[in-house]
Amino acid sequence: MIDVEFLGPINKEPMKVDISNLSQLREILKNDDEVSTWLDTCAVAINDTLVSKKDIELSSGDKISLLPPVCGG
Amino acid sequence: MENLELFEGSLEVEKITNGWYDKYKNSNYGAIITFIGVVRDENKIDGLSFDIYEPILNNWFNSWQEKAKELKAIVLMAHSRGDVFNHESSYIAAVCSPKRRIALELIDEFVEDFKAQAPIWKYDIINGDRIYAEDRSTAIKGYGLLS
């Protein structure tokens, strides 16, 4: 299972999903009303490292984080 | 991670900046530049509130420390979590460098990259509500991977 967490202002509890790549995650989240509107602007991290491509093999226990637009300071 | 400090609520500016100065004044840095961010009274806000995702913030800060090290400089940062009211400080950044020009350039790049990339989310506090500052926020590089 893969843990998925939603950071900052995305109002959604973490979830566990049975997937092996990010394309499968996209299919799940685009049908989720709480998250779908965030997908265009979110960055994605796997195990706390930001990633820039979808073709990454996921392993059980991996953690995916969705990071919406930021504004520190 | 002693050069990156996170605090609940507003920053004690004098304590933090004096602490940095005392710690590094004998290290032969010819230039120490401090940037202090202060919450402005605007748009009817009572203050700002912040969420921070520490693991990725630490990675971001470490990569900046490496970059500074190549220039024989160091970077320092303090930031608030939770609520910070108007006219208080939520963010301090500093650069210590042997050379003035490097310090001036580095503080500019460090603060701007912080604004664009550091995993911190800002909310306006208005009448006790916490409202995401969506219009002032910047999507992190690589955004839209799942769109």
Q: How close, in Å, is residue B80 to chain A by CA atoms?
A: 8
> What mean pLDDT do residues B56-83 have?
98
> What mean pLDDT do residues A20-37 have?
95
Query: Which option is the CATH number for B4-136: 3.90.1170.40, 3.30.450.90, 3.40.50.1100, 3.30.360.10?
Result: 3.90.1170.40
Q: How close, in Å, is residue A18 to chain B by CA atoms?
A: 17
Question: Which residue ranges form the domains of chain A, and what is each CATH number?
Answer: 2-67 (3.10.20.30)
Q: What pLDDT score was predicted for residue B1?
A: 55
pTM of the model: 0.95
B23-59 CB burial, b ≥16 within 10 A, e <16 = ebeeeebebbbbbebebeeeeebbbbbbbbbeebbee
- A63 pLDDT more than 60: yes
Residues A41 and B144 sit within 8 Å (Cβ to Cβ): yes
Chain length of chain A: 73
* ipTM of this complex prediction, to 2 decimal places: 0.94
Nearest chain A residue to B124 by CA distance is A71
Q: How close, in Å, is residue A4 to chain B by CA atoms?
A: 13
Q: What's the Cα-to-Cα distance from A41 to each of A36, B62, B142, rounded to whole Å?
A: 10, 25, 9
Residues in chain A whose beta carbon is closer than 8 A to a beta carbon of chain B? 7-9, 22, 25-26, 29-30, 39-45, 48-54, 65-73
Tokens of B13: 């500016």
Model pLDDT for residues B106-130, shown as the tens digit of each residue: 999 999 999 999 999 999 999 999 9
> What mean pLDDT do residues B11-40 have?
97
> What mean pLDDT do residues A56-68 have?
97
Sorted by where each begins, the domain ranges of chain B are 4-136
- Spell out which residues of chain A touch residue B37, defining contact as CB-CB under 8 Å: 73
> What mean pLDDT do residues A48-63 have?
95
Nearest chain A residue to B117 by CA distance is A70
Q: What pLDDT score was predicted for residue B2?
A: 83
As a whole number, the mean pLDDT across chain A is 96
Model pLDDT for residues B87-97, shown as the tens digit of each residue: 999 999 999 99
